Structure 1
Amino acid sequence: MPGQARPPGPAHGASIAFAILFTISGTGHIWQNNLKYRSYRIGFLLPWAAFLFTAGFTLREYGSYNTNNLGVFIASQVLLFIAPPVYNGANYFIFGRALYYLPYLSLIHPGRVWTTFVALDAAADVVAANGVVRVANARAEPSAIKAGLDLVKISLFLLMGMFLAFMALNIHFHYRAVKAGVFNYKLKVIMYELYASNLLILLRNCFRTAAFFYPWHSLANGKEWPLWVFEFVPMVVNTYLMNIYPPAKYLPANHKIYLAMDGKTELEGPGMVDKRHFLWTLFDPFDVKGIVQGKDKKNRYWLSDGIGGPLIEAQSSGAELSVIHQGGQTVKTEA
């Protein structure tokens, strides 16, 4: 039917080759992030995403020899569809850890980056998974297939919107780090890696979104090579990018370690403490209420570490400030 996005029949061999590539990458993620650098949280999502691809491609290869097995076909489609958003989740966590590293530049509580965006992603994934199951089932009624197609379209637009919001946070943080003079080598690697990863995921999402608006006999849906070029290959590049530059190598495993405002000294602080109720931090991660009322409850421990000073306030206000350290406390006076 017009507008129905039916994936092309899988060719023999290619899927198992990609399953092997993702298995190697996932194993590498475990070794690099979990075992070598002891960062279990950073190392959790990357291998999970890789092994989802491994399972999806394995089932896809099996399905290429058993074309009448509808269950295997549907399972492979769902796995290959939900695996890329897990890489999104990994990027959310990596960015959140970068915010912990520079807490004085964060617009949002670092611990809420992952929970906020993953919660939104999960909602979109539930919608997408329900849609993919209906679209992939050739025995379903046309109305059910159309409803599934609409669900997938909605989920893809939701993901695109969240992606743009996440990129805006990345760019804003990058800008503030450069302006504050604390954009060191570690942050450069992390931020440029996130940009590259986000662009690869964006390429995949754009292709997926476009494919669902073209008929099943179009080039996007009637041939197999666009699927490999615009979706699977970018995901392979993305996973190996994270192997070449393992995030745990550049970010402290301990989220309480932060970079002082001199841009050189790493210290262990108390961590970002938000005294609001957890539900408030979840539904109002930017603490808009506190900002409006002038009562945000951030613990600005970086102002009393004896090293830095109110650099951000000085730059934003344009006033020249002198910093005097007295008894371990930072006193701000206008010059």
Structure 2
Amino acid sequence: MVDSYYAYTPSFAAAIAIAALYSATFIATFCQWIRYRAWVWIVMVLASLMESLGYIARSLSSHRTSTRGLFIAQFTLIVLAPVLMAAASYVIFGRIVFHVMPAHARTTKNLWVPARFITAIFVACDIFALFLQLVGAVLVSGTKPNDPDAHKKLSTGKDIALAGLAVQIICFGLFSIIAIRFNFVWKQFDGEFQGKVGQEDGQKYFIVSGTDRKLKMHWQSLLLVLNITCVLILVRSVYRVCDFALGKTGYLEQNEWPAYVFDALPMLPCVALFVYWHPGKYLPYLGFRLPKSIREN
């Protein structure tokens, strides 16, 4: 029996503190999901739940460092949750584009990808990256140091996980550039946007094309939060690439603090910021499918 799956003594206090923070954000995200009927936001609900369960499992694992199941559970949940956060970013960006830009402006020239396939393309890449990281994470976390074929399993798991992370970084990196660039692109059509601005009870609003729904004028706050989220997810992804590349004997695997500084803490705002700047406060349509009137106008 292996003495410990960790190369250090894991901190129970750190794990339980982060678990409490993620649990609080999960509860808030879940309640808002119901309140705003933001059904498409289920992806972020699941991501926050995975982070919460991951660190709960890690806190339990800190007292049972030789228990394989707990180690695999915490490692896998924590590694995969940000992939779902990236998927949530794709979904919300796609909705912003359709709510804000007129149909004639949703061109590949302006967005670099077809508007109607923005979410589908990047989510498909995300699913592929998720699968590769899941396979790699299970191989790496489930291999005992004293296994006869440990080196081969660790090497294979590392390569598969790195491939998944590479796919994620390339796709999410491209998406991040598109999302940040959008801050400047949409301003070209601000004249058309302002032409549809109305006012009611002293509050300005924008009528969404082809509907009677209203979009809050300060929707740019949501775009800013999305941009911040993109940067944080990229930072975390680079950390994980370095982690897998260096392997079990690398500095990142031999010390616990990088996991909290470059993974746990950067991912927390990706959920928490959306609790305050929730998409449901800005976008009127957050069902699983956009109305045809929005897609065509």
Same structural fold, with TM-score higher than 0.5 when normalized by the shorter chain:
yes
**Aligned match of 2:128:** 123
**Aligned match of 2:293:** 270
Q: Quick one: which of 259, 266, 277 aligns to 1:245?
A: 277
Residues 159-185 of structure 1 show CA distances to partners (whole Å, capped at 9, x for unaligned) of 110012212321343222112224984
SS of the residue 1:271 aligns to? helix
**Aligned match of 1:275:** none
Matched residues in 2 for 1:6 and 1:161: separation?
Answer: 30
Amino acid at match of 1:124: A
**Aligned match of 2:22:** 22
Asked whether the 8 Å contact 1:11–1:64 carries over to 2, the reply is yes
Aligned in 2, Cα 1:12/1:58: closer, same or farther, shift over 3 Å?
Answer: same
Amino acid at match of 2:159: D
**Aligned match of 2:52:** 54
Aligned in 2, Cα 1:177/1:220: closer, same or farther, shift over 3 Å?
Answer: same
What are the within-5 Å matches in structure 2 for residues 150-189 of structure 1?
A: 150-181=159-190, 182=193, 185-189=217-221
Matched residues in 1 for 2:261 and 2:63: separation?
Answer: 23
User: Deviation above 6 Å: which 4+ runs of structure 1?
Assistant: none
Is there any run of 5+ residues in structure 1 with no aligned partner, and where? 259-267, 273-298, 302-335
Amino acid at match of 1:11: S
**Aligned match of 1:39:** 38
**Aligned match of 1:98:** 96
SS of the residue 2:117 aligns to? helix
Residues 259-312 of structure 1 show CA distances to partners (whole Å, capped at 9, x for unaligned) of xxxxxxxxx87131xxxxxxxxxxxxxxxxxxxxxxxxxx4x3xxxxxxxxxxx
Amino acid at match of 1:220: L
Asked whether the 8 Å contact 1:97–1:110 carries over to 2, the reply is no
Asked whether the 8 Å contact 2:137–2:157 carries over to 1, the reply is yes
Q: If each structure's helix is expressed as a fraction of its own residues, which one has the higher value?
A: 2
Amino acid at match of 2:176: M
Amino acid at match of 2:261: V
Is there any run of 5+ residues in structure 2 with no aligned partner, and where? 108-112, 195-215
TM-score, normalised by the number of residues in structure 1 = 0.71
Matched residues in 2 for 1:146 and 1:55: separation?
Answer: 27
Question: How many corresponding residue pairs?
Answer: 259
Amino acid at match of 1:200: L
What are the within-5 Å matches in structure 2 for residues 167-246 of structure 1?
A: 167-181=176-190, 182=193, 185-246=217-278
Matched residues in 2 for 1:136 and 1:171: separation?
Answer: 35
SS of the residue 1:148 aligns to? helix
Amino acid at match of 1:117: F
Aligned in 2, Cα 1:90/1:216: closer, same or farther, shift over 3 Å?
Answer: same
Aligned in 2, Cα 1:246/1:7: closer, same or farther, shift over 3 Å?
Answer: farther
Q: Quick one: which of 134, 137, 141 aligns to 1:136?
A: 141
**1:201 to partner: Cα distance:** 0.6
TM-score, normalised by the number of residues in structure 2 = 0.79
Residues 229-260 of structure 1 show CA distances to partners (whole Å, capped at 9, x for unaligned) of 1110011122111112111111112679x9xx
**Aligned match of 1:310:** none
**1:71 to partner: Cα distance:** 1.6
Matched residues in 2 for 1:213 and 1:166: separation?
Answer: 24
Please, which moves more after superposition, 167-176 or 88-97?
167-176
Asked whether the 8 Å contact 2:40–2:286 carries over to 1, the reply is no
Amino acid at match of 2:66: N
**1:129 to partner: Cα distance:** 0.9
Q: CA RMSD in A?
A: 2.6
